[in-house]
Structure 1
Amino acid sequence: MKELVLYIAKALVDNPDQVEVKEIAGEKATILELKVSAEDRGKVIGKEGRIIKAVRIIVNSASAKLDKRATVEIVE
């Protein structure tokens, strides 16, 4: 999951070298913390949060195949 979020985020931003994803794994759920530069935060969130919602849907679909839950959060 971490690689998937990293790949999507790097494609969206202007500074792909500043994209970081931290994975916090639990028994059933995984939290993916996405950190991007301040200038690129709006590009990852999108208008009315549409882009980050789409990323969360993709991650949830991919994690459902593994019988786990995953959430994506943006860290400042």
Structure 2
Amino acid sequence: MTDTDTLAATDVLSQNMVELVKGIACALVDSPDKVLVEALKDGEGTLLRLRVAPTDVGKVIGKQGRTARSMRTILSAASMKMKHRFALDIIEDETKSLAS
């Protein structure tokens, strides 16, 4: 397997994981159209950044972080099978309207 083949395989894996995280997040939130997942190469692994509407952040984190921890557990299990490390960051949208 050449470096190009390895890179292409990693891109396919990343896209599959992005779809997995996006599917889970969309099922949890009130505004699934605002769910965005991006994959960033991070050293030997891939970092997945999950962005949701500010009103939905609590839904993807859950009480005491249980929902986020569960999503990371699923991601970790899938990562082991694919032999590529994935990490998940949940990012709150910074665009908030300011009341004047």
The TM tier, using the shorter chain, reads over 0.9
Question: Which structure features the higher share of helix residues?
Answer: 2
CA positional deviation for 1:26: 4.1
Structure 2 Cα separation of the partners of residues 31 and 37 of structure 1:
20
The residue number in structure 1 matching 2:54 is 38
Q: State yes or no: 1:73 paired with 2:82.
A: no
Offset from partner CA, 1:9-47 (integer Å, 9 cap, x none): 000000000000010124531100000000000000000
The residue number in structure 2 matching 1:3 is 19
Question: Which structure features the higher share of strand residues?
Answer: 1
- Where 1:65 maps in the other structure, the secondary structure is helix
Structure 1 Cα separation of the partners of residues 72 and 19 of structure 2:
14
TM-score when normalising by structure 2: 0.73
The one-letter amino acid paired with 1:40 is D
The residue number in structure 2 matching 1:62 is 78
Q: State yes or no: 1:17 paired with 2:33.
A: yes
Higher relative contact order (CA 8 A, sep 6+): 1
What is the Cα-based RMSD across aligned positions, in Å?
1.0
Gaps of 5+ in 1: none
- Report the count of equivalent residues: 76
Structure 2 Cα separation of the partners of residues 31 and 13 of structure 1:
21
CA positional deviation for 1:63: 1.1
- Where 2:83 maps in the other structure, the secondary structure is coil
TM-score when normalising by structure 1: 0.95
